[in-house]
Amino acid sequence: MIRDLRTLRLRNVRQLWRFTLLGLALLVVGFALTLSVGQSVTPPMDVIRVLLGEGAPGDTFTVRELRLPRAVMGVVAGMCFGLAGSAFQVLLRNPLASPDIIGISAGASAAAVCAIVFFGASGPTVSAVAILSALGVAVLVYVLAWRDGVASGRLILVGIGVAAMLQSVVAYSLSKAPAWGLQEALRWLSGTLNGASLGQVGPLLAALVIGGGVLLTQSRALAALQMGDDAASAIGVPVAQTRILVVLSAVAVIAVATAVCGPIAFVAFLARPLASRISGAGGPLLLLSALTGAVLVVAADYTGQFLLPARYPVGIVTGALGAPYLLYLIARIHRKGALS
């Protein structure tokens, strides 16, 4: 019996790594396509020469100044969204427990729009305000949902209510916005990689390495928490400390990503369910979810820029993908008669 369980576990690990490598391969292909193909086509060898500092001036500007920052930001932001979304869904044992749904992204959006519209803020100021607001909303939702512990269904309902209130703040702010502020706020709210620069990637990369690294170290604890708090505690997992560490790390990661790129809709929500369905594996799937998030953002950005009749920000494309799945998930949960 023990040998059969070990064999099954080894088979699952191998399957997970196969799909992780497949995700990495898809990401490399998408990244290379973004660097090579746009309004004009740059041959792969010319792209390599540019990256080595030996390209022609025209190719150098197109690849290094326009396409490379956009591609790198898409990859890193997508990994941040996918990783944070997976951590929340596993921790709360509910596919609806995504930062998109429970108000964290809405908190960043409301604060950023208010800063843009009423104070004329831009750049790092908007990012800082969005990060602080996302952290504050996460604490607020957690506190409001606390009642001798935090049940995932109650937290999701509280988060949806907080998100609705924050969306009304966004709507009011937009109604009072001057022309410049309205345009800038709408650009930020759509979730976009336009205007990406390698300088903006630094904070994203730092959040991914530090916060993502912390989350990956908690993979075993998260896998235990999937069986329930009592079971996790019985095998020595410090449940309360793990929850606090995972929540703080995940909120920090997604807050920075949202601050830099805007609320790219539903990437955090979709990444883990897609990773789980494609691989057939269970568990936290943090790394595979991160890769899935990156592939989603890179593919959606390329689609919005070059494969549709008009150009659309990446958040519009991911929103069109995520909304039907959200409706399907809510209908399925309604049939079961519970949120948790």
What is the per-residue pLDDT across 132-170, written as a single tens digit (0 to 9) for each?
999 999 999 999 998 877 778 899 999 999 999 999 999
| pLDDT given at position 5 | 46
Q: For residue 37, what is the DSSP state? A: B
72-126 per-position pLDDT tens digit? 999 999 999 999 999 999 999 888 899 989 999 999 999 999 999 999 888 889 9
Q: Is the pLDDT of residue 291 over 80?
A: yes
Q: In the CATH scheme, what is the code of domain 2-336?
A: 1.10.3470.10
Q: pLDDT band at 338, cuts 50/70/90?
A: low
> Using CA atoms, how far apart are residues 222 and 213, in angstroms rounded to an integer?
14
Query: Do the beta carbons of residue 19 and residue 288 sit within 8 Å?
Result: yes
Backbone angles phi, psi at 183, to 5 degrees: -65, -45
Mean pLDDT for the stretch of residues 2-27: 75
Query: Do the beta carbons of residue 197 and residue 270 sit within 8 Å?
Result: no
| pLDDT given at position 226 | 87
Q: pLDDT band at 337, cuts 50/70/90?
A: low
Backbone angles phi, psi at 176, to 5 degrees: -100, 5
> Using CA atoms, how far apart are residues 208 and 255, in angstroms rounded to an integer?
11
| Gyration radius of the chain's alpha carbons | 20
- Provide the whole-model pTM: 0.92
Instruction: Indicate the burial class of 91 (C-beta count within 10 angstroms; 0-12, 13-18, 19 or more).
Output: buried
| pLDDT given at position 111 | 95
Lowest mean pLDDT among 42-51, 256-265, 277-286: 277-286
Identify which of 145, 156, 165, 141 has the alpha carbon closest to the alpha carbon of residue 96: 156
| pLDDT given at position 9 | 61
| pLDDT given at position 326 | 86
> Using CA atoms, how far apart are residues 167 and 148, in angstroms rounded to an integer?
29
Instruction: Indicate the burial class of 223 (C-beta count within 10 angstroms; 0-12, 13-18, 19 or more).
Output: middle
| pLDDT given at position 334 | 65
Q: pLDDT band at 1, cuts 50/70/90?
A: very low
> Using CA atoms, how far apart are residues 82 and 103, in angstroms rounded to an integer?
16
Helices (H), the chain: 2-36, 44-51, 57-60, 68-92, 104-119, 124-145, 152-175, 179-190, 198-217, 219-225, 229-234, 239-261, 267-279, 286-302, 314-336
Token reading at 288? 């595979």
Query: Do the beta carbons of residue 144 and residue 162 sit within 8 Å?
Result: yes
**Single-letter amino acid, residue 213:** G
196-207 per-position pLDDT tens digit? 998 889 999 999
Lowest mean pLDDT among 11-20, 72-81, 261-270, 286-295: 11-20
210-259 per-position pLDDT tens digit? 999 999 999 999 999 988 888 888 999 998 899 989 999 999 999 999 99
Q: pLDDT band at 329, cuts 50/70/90?
A: confident
Token reading at 237? 């997992």
> Using CA atoms, how far apart are residues 162 and 99, in angstroms rounded to an integer?
12
> Using CA atoms, how far apart are residues 275 and 82, in angstroms rounded to an integer?
10
| pLDDT given at position 104 | 94
| pLDDT given at position 38 | 86
> Using CA atoms, how far apart are residues 215 and 91, in angstroms rounded to an integer?
11
Token reading at 49? 């020469």
31-77 per-position pLDDT tens digit? 999 999 888 899 999 999 998 888 888 888 999 999 999 999 999 99
Average pLDDT for the chain? 89
| pLDDT given at position 186 | 92
| pLDDT given at position 25 | 95
- Ramachandran quadrant class, 20 (left: phi over 0; alpha: psi -120 to 50; beta: rest): alpha
**Single-letter amino acid, residue 258:** T
> How distant is the alpha carbon of residue 149 from its chain centre?
26
| pLDDT given at position 332 | 80
